[in-house]
Amino acid sequence: MHCLRYALTAPGDICQILLSMSRSSAIITIGNEILLGRTLNTNLAWLASELALAGVPVTYAIVVQDQREQILQALQDTWGKYDIVITTGGLGPTPDDITKASIAEYFGKELQFDPDVWDNVQMLFSRRNMPAPESNRSQALVPAGFTALHNELGTAPGLCHQEGKRVFFALQGVPTEMRHIYTRHIQPMLPALYPEARRITQKTLHSFGISESALAELFYVSDISPQVNLAWLPQTGRVDLRFYGEDEPAVKQAVRSACEKIGHLIWGEDDDTPADALYRCLKDKGLSLAVAESCTGGLIQAYLTEVAGISDVFRGGVVAYHNDVKTGLLDVTSEVVIREGAVCGEVARQMAIGVRQALNSDVSIAITGIAGPAGGSPEKPVGLVWFAYCVYDKVFVEKAVFNGDRAGIRHKAAEMAILKLTRLLKEGTL
């Protein structure tokens, strides 16, 4: 079967392409709180992802203390060896922020007062109706010959120093400021600086309701250009397909041809969440939704209401944790609860019907299950979840058993419920 090679393609393959590129970056993270395990190094992950797409992947990263000797050593280990060297952190005005002084020392430059930076500091303080403290004057010191990168979000500017094709940047440790400086100042200069850099185009499609192998039988390698790489990324209840390569038109063409062939199995792309997909689908069809939750305890509705604008389609719901709430607000019959327990298909069915009626919605989701860690039995193990979906007066009921801990079971069940209703609506099954 000629799709097998692709079905076996490890997502690691993109690594090999990226990390064999001619240009490369190094990141120096400066911060005691990372070395003490207080803070996750999200700046590294974000910068690494951006630089990989720009064709200048990070091939080396160091984390050092807020300490002169370690910063000097890190600069020595990287500057001249990588095309781009970036430090993050330690640019603030307090005494433990020694990054700027250490950089000036390493490059043998004096710190000079930059009036434009000081203007920005004063402007930021005046917005808060405060005079800029004199201690903040240090923010306006810039190593001679370095460019200060204007920071709209904070008082510390980014710093840039270029020698031929090699560039050094000092960025803030605060993630929003760091991203702002990268996006505004660094990203735009890279194409001109490295015109030969092999920029990667990538697009991820999210599929549902089909296994990796079944999907691979519908969508063949031969359907896409050899210029395009495809990684299959299976997750619980869904498979993601990531298309990537250096040839942007070829990647776009591959995505289009995938959408033509298996578009009915695709619910979203890139950063779409399941809730985004259901929102779009309900809005397209002009349908309103209500939700009844037991084991997920509000999580489905919390995911849905992350979407700004969901009030167009989402009426609300009931968290029926105690059985009295199932029978009282949702008209579940006590007989079935007594006979079969709260976790069964019939209770899910009655919850879905009940919440649709109580909230006067077009469609509904209901869920009841055992999230654990207690409450399981041989017949009804932890992880057993019953789902029911109404579209007007038609009802669809099914069950699933999830692995994992309480949080994992709840998350997977909530996500599956949202995707399943989306699929039922798209397919017009109900």
- Taking the C-alpha atoms of residue 380 and residue 377, their distance in angstroms, rounded to an integer, is 5
Which residue of 156, 281, 299, 351 would you call a contact of a copy of itself, by CB under 8 A? 299
Minimum distance from residue 213 beta carbon to a copy of itself (Å): 18
- Taking the C-alpha atoms of residue 1 and residue 221, their distance in angstroms, rounded to an integer, is 10
- For residue 207, give every residue at least 6 positions away whose Cβ sits within 8 Å of its Cβ, in sequence order, or none: 215, 238, 239, 240, 241, 262, 265, 266, 267
Between 309 and 328, how does the x/- string for binding to a copy of itself read (CB under 8 A)? Answer: xxx--xxxxxxxxx-xx--x
Minimum distance from residue 16 beta carbon to a copy of itself (Å): 8
Give the strand order in the sheet containing 229-235.
229-235, 238-245, 201-208, 266-269
- Taking the C-alpha atoms of residue 46 and residue 144, their distance in angstroms, rounded to an integer, is 29
59 binds a copy of itself, rule: CB under 8 A: yes
Minimum distance from residue 305 beta carbon to a copy of itself (Å): 3
- Which is closer to a copy of itself, CB of 67 or CB of 225? 67
- Taking the C-alpha atoms of residue 233 and residue 235, their distance in angstroms, rounded to an integer, is 7
- Taking the C-alpha atoms of residue 361 and residue 313, their distance in angstroms, rounded to an integer, is 9
Minimum distance from residue 77 beta carbon to a copy of itself (Å): 8
181 binds a copy of itself, rule: CB under 8 A: no
- Which is closer to a copy of itself, CB of 251 or CB of 359? 359
Residue 306 contacts residue 315 (beta carbons within 8 Å): no
- Which is closer to a copy of itself, CB of 116 or CB of 324? 324
- Between CA 73 and CA 85, with CA 79 as vertex, the angle to 5 degrees is 105
65 binds a copy of itself, rule: CB under 8 A: yes
409 binds a copy of itself, rule: CB under 8 A: no
- For residue 7, give every residue at least 6 positions away whose Cβ sits within 8 Å of its Cβ, in sequence order, or none: 212, 213, 216, 232
Minimum distance from residue 41 beta carbon to a copy of itself (Å): 5
- Which is closer to a copy of itself, CB of 24 or CB of 120? 24
Which residue of 154, 369, 372, 383 would you call a contact of a copy of itself, by CB under 8 A? 372
Which residue of 56, 62, 171, 391 would you call a contact of a copy of itself, by CB under 8 A? 62
336 binds a copy of itself, rule: CB under 8 A: no
- Which is closer to a copy of itself, CB of 35 or CB of 250? 35
- Which is closer to a copy of itself, CB of 218 or CB of 325? 325
Residue 140 contacts residue 155 (beta carbons within 8 Å): no
Taken as a whole, the chain contains a residue count of 430
Residue among 11, 30, 21, 12 at smallest CA distance from 59:
21
Minimum distance from residue 137 beta carbon to a copy of itself (Å): 21
Could you tell me how many residues of this chain bind a copy of itself (CB under 8 A)?
79
- Taking the C-alpha atoms of residue 65 and residue 72, their distance in angstroms, rounded to an integer, is 11
Distance of CA 293 to the CA centre of its chain: 26
204 binds a copy of itself, rule: CB under 8 A: no
Which residue of 64, 121, 366, 370 would you call a contact of a copy of itself, by CB under 8 A? 64
- Taking the C-alpha atoms of residue 116 and residue 339, their distance in angstroms, rounded to an integer, is 76
Element (H, E) at 285: helix 274-285
Q: Are strands 25-30 and 84-88 parallel, antiparallel or unpaired?
A: parallel
Q: Which residue in the block uniquely carries the two structure tokens 């395009």?
A: 228
Between 80 and 109, how does the x/- string for binding to a copy of itself read (CB under 8 A)? Answer: --------------x-x-------------
Minimum distance from residue 301 beta carbon to a copy of itself (Å): 3
- Which is closer to a copy of itself, CB of 19 or CB of 144? 19
- Which is closer to a copy of itself, CB of 262 or CB of 325? 325
Element (H, E) at 119: helix 115-127
- Taking the C-alpha atoms of residue 179 and residue 217, their distance in angstroms, rounded to an integer, is 41
Give the strand order in the sheet containing 394-401.
289-293, 363-369, 384-391, 394-401
- Which is closer to a copy of itself, CB of 318 or CB of 424? 318
Residue among 192, 190, 104 at smallest CA distance from 148:
104
18 binds a copy of itself, rule: CB under 8 A: yes
- Which is closer to a copy of itself, CB of 147 or CB of 204? 204
Which residue of 63, 142, 251, 419 would you call a contact of a copy of itself, by CB under 8 A? 63
Which residue of 204, 252, 406, 430 would you call a contact of a copy of itself, by CB under 8 A? 406
Minimum distance from residue 27 beta carbon to a copy of itself (Å): 8
48 binds a copy of itself, rule: CB under 8 A: yes
36 binds a copy of itself, rule: CB under 8 A: yes
Site for a copy of itself in 259-288 (CB under 8 A): none
- Taking the C-alpha atoms of residue 91 and residue 174, their distance in angstroms, rounded to an integer, is 10
